[in-house]
Amino acid sequence: QTDEGSKNRVGGVYDRNKCYNSAFWRLLKAYKFEVLCEMIRVRDAIPRGIQELLNYDIDWAVSDKVDSQNTLRRWISSEIREFVKSQKSAATLVDSI
Is the predicted pLDDT of residue 6 greater than 60, yes or no? Answer: no
Is the predicted pLDDT of residue 91 greater than 50, yes or no? Answer: yes
Tens digits of residue pLDDT in 18-37: 555 677 777 777 777 777 77
CA distance 56 to 74: 23
Query: What DSSP assignment string belongs to 18-36?
Result: TTTSHHHHHHHTTS-HHHH
pLDDT of residue 50: 87
Q: Quick check: 24 and 34 in contact, CB under 8 A?
A: no
Average pLDDT of the chain is 71
pLDDT of residue 87: 66
Locate the domains of the chain by residue range.
Answer: 1-56, 59-97
The residues near 13 (Cβ < 8 Å, ≥ 6 apart) are: 19, 33, 34, 37
Helix (H, G, I), strand (E, B) or coil at 61: helix
- DSSP state, 73? H
Tens digits of residue pLDDT in 42-75: 888 888 888 888 888 888 887 777 776 777 778 8
